[in-house]
Amino acid sequence: MERIGWQEKWTLRYAVAGLVFLAMSGFEGILMRTQLAAPEALQGMEALLMNIRPVTHEPSPAELFYGMLTVHPIVGIYGFAYTCVMGAFYFLVPFLLKKEIRHKKLVPVNFALQVIGVLTCWMSGFFGMFNALYTLYWPLPVSYNRVPLAGSIAFTSGATIIMVNVLLFAFNLFSTVLSKSNPHSYSFGQFLLAAFGIPRLLRWLGLKKDDGPNPNYEELPVFIVAVGRGSIDTVINAIVLLSAGALILVYGLSALFKVPLDSGAVDALVYKNWFWWGLDMVADGNVLIYTAGVWYLLIPLLVNRKLYGESVVRTVILVDLLVSLGVWSHHLLGDRVQPLVMRLLSGQFITWGEFFTMGLTIFASLMTIWLARPVKLTPALKFVLGSIFGFIIGGTAGLIQANIGLNVVFHNTQWVIGPHAHMLLLVGLGMLLFAVIYALVPMLTKLEIRSQRLADIHFWTWLVGALTMTYAMGLAGSRGMLRRMLYENALYQPYMQVALVGGLLIAVGFVVFLVNVVSTLGWVNVLSLVVPERWLTPRSGLRET
Amino acid sequence: MFKNIPVKEGLYVCYRYNLVELYGLYGGSSPIHALLRPKSAAERRLTVEREERIWFGVLIVVFLVFNAITLSPLVPWQKWLLWSQPAPDRRISIEIANYEFNLPPQGIEVKAGELVEFVATSRDVTYGFGVFRSDGTMVFQMQVVPGYENSIIWKFDVSGTYDVRSTEYSGPRHPEMLVEDAIQVIP
């Protein structure tokens, strides 16, 4: 019988839920890949599923495809990535601060709301055929001759639950950091100043004297600083998406009660700017800053050396926050009505700010490993290196399309979603979260990862699969293949067939990973995460201490 | 059931062949905290290592070179989309509504080398206006935002026929938005 803390057990539950969502999102991905490679392949399965779908007419293959495409990123990002991040931070933040979570009751509440919110969104696509995509460009989500009304209401309700939950989580994180449960407590003002790096900047500019050797709020581990700063993006993102969701929900409910509102009352371009400003806080905000923070945490732990260039790193996280507030126009480079100065400054030049911040972040990370030689290439460290590789490739692809000249032929192509988005998500972020799981499982449970060989197979199949898939998509994109498009002719089918092989390799890697983790923990221990302790025999399962 | 392999009591290691020992989880002084917190006042100041300065220099050079090339007329359309605001030789209006392109009834015939302004408007949702060669490769595109006149100037170099396709998702009938051989470019 293994004894395990309450928080550790909840972190494992978050990880399990996150992995289930990754499996769902991946399964949808494979289905869509199959449809792109062989358009008729899913007909048999769809005919069976139609028996349980409460829709009035039989949906077309396009409606099914776009329904899946709408929920695929929600399940992948808010289901897999956010849930895993929540679980990991709920363990790491109190652990590193030597404090308890401020509002412990919120831990299970956050878990439940995240699962309910994501599943509601998923069901709006699967059962309700909601198909406005995550971009929700105004007025498509309120054009009820194109998207189903019930699906629209269900989707925005699910998204609202997720966003409120994200705000609750951020509130709990900030409360934990700021709580006065030990001598090293900070006021909210002090923390905000530190989060924005103001005292540091003032000292650098010679406007403030050194505080001396007294321990102060700047002694927070750099990971905590990154979590704090990234969470500012997380909060802005949630508030903006909440406002957009509320707007769509109001229109939906008005239509439901037969008093439809005029969609022309909202300016499509202003909405698009507002929406992307908030949405981009995920892609170019908290993902980058949280990722940097996790590298800064894991690498010193895995190679047993202090982080190289920590002083610059702390400043870089501040700059990253400022950059993330100003980059959204790179999503509007195809909009000729977006002012040129916005496209050039916000769309192109500020986006290059990420080249500098991530460039310095990656340099500090690699230098730390280099200077710590000889190091053992443990699975966690391998996956950290994989995630750095993913950010280099995916970030470079992003800079190519976030260019007012090149975007003319790259906008909305498979290039954007392949070598940029999926490279970042599957290799950059995905491998980082695997690294966290490989590192945290032994820390949480005192059990070693069972098989080094399986971890290696997981590493290579995942990496080669993702590279194959995104490279094929990128080639198709550079040949003019659009994203979000079902082609009737076979123009791009060879590329899509190669991409499907890549997708299947990724799936093999994921299954190998699951086998390894389950055999590490043991079935009974995994079961003990989801069933009450009294159902298990006294000698089995992960027991709470 | 799989057999568990317990790690030495009180010692939190990631792997047996790893170097790090994490103990004293909640309270006490643990190496993990020493590893992660800056200690001295010097560590709290902004200091830049020599290698970081060199690397930062490399990043600046890459930034300058890449942006100089892509903003220059080496990307041909930057000549008329960015650097000059030429008066177009022709103006072609396209209206989009209910998943359909309403192109000029007489068809679109342009001469290679002339500057053509395409002005697209949408009467319902956001669409895209994309021009493609017959082999599927893209010539150019723009977003068509409802409530605005969306315009782009283009100069075709190669004669032939070109397809028009919506490049933005507008609902489940989006894939149908293709007009083959919509533009004829004559020498």
pLDDT at residue B23 in the model:
37
pLDDT at residue B5 in the model:
34
Domain at B88-186: CATH architecture: Sandwich (2.60)
**Is the Cβ pair B174, A204 closer than 8 Å?**
no
Q: Does A3 touch chain B (CB under 8 A)?
A: no
What percent of chain A has pLDDT above 90?
A: 65
In the predicted model, what is the mean pLDDT of residues B133-159?
A: 97
The mean pLDDT of chain A is 89
The helix/strand count (H/E) of chain B reads as: 4, 9
Q: Give contacts of B62 with chain A, Cβ < 8 Å.
A: 355
In the predicted model, what is the mean pLDDT of residues A258-264?
A: 94
- The answer for A 60-89 residues in CB contact with B (under 8 A) is 60, 62-63, 66
Nearest to A212 among B27, B41, B77 (CB): B41
Structure confidence at residue A94 as a pLDDT band (50, 70, 90): confident
Q: Give contacts of A138 with chain B, Cβ < 8 Å.
A: 126
Q: Classify residue B75 by its DSSP letter.
A: S
Lowest mean pLDDT among A252-261, A395-404, A519-528: A519-528
Q: Does A447 touch chain B (CB under 8 A)?
A: yes
In the predicted model, what is the mean pLDDT of residues B102-131?
A: 96
Tokens of A55: 């829709």
Structure confidence at residue B41 as a pLDDT band (50, 70, 90): low
Q: What is the DSSP string of A298-320?
A: HHHHHHTSPPTTHHHHHHHHHHH
Gap from A286 CA to chain B (nearest CA, Å): 21
Angle at A432 between CA A429 and CA A436, to 5 degrees: 135
pLDDT at residue A494 in the model:
94
**Is the Cβ pair A336, B48 closer than 8 Å?**
no
Tokens of B81: 């989309």
In the predicted model, what is the mean pLDDT of residues B22-28?
A: 36
pLDDT at residue A285 in the model:
84
Whether the pLDDT of residue A446 is over 80: the answer is no
pLDDT at residue B118 in the model:
97
Structure confidence at residue A440 as a pLDDT band (50, 70, 90): confident
Dist. CA B25–CA A274, nearest whole Å? 43
Of A4 and A434, which is predicted with more confidence? A434
Mutation pick from B33, B40, B46 vs chain A, by most beta carbons of A within 10 Å, is B46
Q: Does A486 touch chain B (CB under 8 A)?
A: yes
Structure confidence at residue B57 as a pLDDT band (50, 70, 90): very high
Structure confidence at residue B46 as a pLDDT band (50, 70, 90): low
Tokens of A197: 């790096």
In the predicted model, what is the mean pLDDT of residues B159-183?
A: 96
Whether the pLDDT of residue A470 is over 90: the answer is yes
**Is the Cβ pair B140, A408 closer than 8 Å?**
yes
Q: Give contacts of A340 with chain B, Cβ < 8 Å.
A: 82
In the predicted model, what is the mean pLDDT of residues B77-82?
A: 95
The mean pLDDT of chain B is 83
In the predicted model, what is the mean pLDDT of residues A455-465?
A: 98
Q: What is the pTM of this model?
A: 0.91
Q: Give contacts of B128 with chain A, Cβ < 8 Å.
A: 334, 412
pLDDT at residue A316 in the model:
85
Whether the pLDDT of residue A302 is over 80: the answer is yes
Whether the pLDDT of residue B39 is over 60: the answer is no
Nearest to B141 among A98, A139, A408 (CB): A408
List the alpha helices (DSSP H) in chain B: 31-36, 41-44, 50-71, 78
Whether the pLDDT of residue A212 is over 50: the answer is no
Nearest to B63 among A147, A352, A522 (CB): A352
Taking CA–CA distances from B139, the nearest residue in chain A reads A409
Domain ranges in chain B?
A: 88-186
Give the pLDDT confidence of A385-433 residue by residue, as tens digits: 999 999 999 999 999 999 999 999 999 999 999 999 999 999 999 999 9
Q: Give contacts of B48 with chain A, Cβ < 8 Å.
A: 309, 311-312
Gap from A452 CA to chain B (nearest CA, Å): 10
At A544 the three-state DSSP class reads strand
Dist. CA A411–CA A477, nearest whole Å? 9
pLDDT at residue B89 in the model:
95
Gap from B150 CA to chain A (nearest CA, Å): 6
- The answer for A 402-421 residues in CB contact with B (under 8 A) is 403-406, 408-409, 411-413
Whether the pLDDT of residue B107 is over 60: the answer is yes
Whether the pLDDT of residue A189 is over 90: the answer is no
Taking CA–CA distances from A302, the nearest residue in chain B reads B20
Of A189 and A63, which is predicted with more confidence? A63
Structure confidence at residue B21 as a pLDDT band (50, 70, 90): very low
**Is the Cβ pair B5, A408 closer than 8 Å?**
no
pLDDT at residue B7 in the model:
35
Give the pLDDT confidence of A99-149 residue by residue, as tens digits: 889 899 999 999 999 999 999 999 999 888 999 999 999 999 999 999 999
Q: How many CB pairs under 8 A join A and B?
A: 258
Gap from B134 CA to chain A (nearest CA, Å): 10
Q: Give contacts of A264 with chain B, Cβ < 8 Å.
A: 147
Q: Classify residue A379 by its DSSP letter.
A: H
Q: Which pairing describes strands B108-111 and B100-102: parallel, antiparallel, or unpaired?
A: unpaired
CA nearest A61: which of A489, A486, A482?
Answer: A486
**Is the Cβ pair A411, B136 closer than 8 Å?**
no
Structure confidence at residue A178 as a pLDDT band (50, 70, 90): confident
Q: Would you tell me the crossing angle of helices A222-256 and A268-281 to the nearest 10 degrees?
A: 150
Gap from B108 CA to chain A (nearest CA, Å): 21
Whether the pLDDT of residue A204 is over 90: the answer is no
**Is the Cβ pair A334, B16 closer than 8 Å?**
no
Taking CA–CA distances from B9, the nearest residue in chain A reads A446
SS3 content of chain A, % helix, strand, coil (to 5): 75, 0, 25
Nearest to A95 among B25, B62, B139 (CB): B25
Q: Is A182 left (phi over 0), alpha (psi -120 to 50) or beta?
A: beta
Q: Is B84 left (phi over 0), alpha (psi -120 to 50) or beta?
A: beta
- The answer for A 168-197 residues in CB contact with B (under 8 A) is none
At A48 the three-state DSSP class reads helix
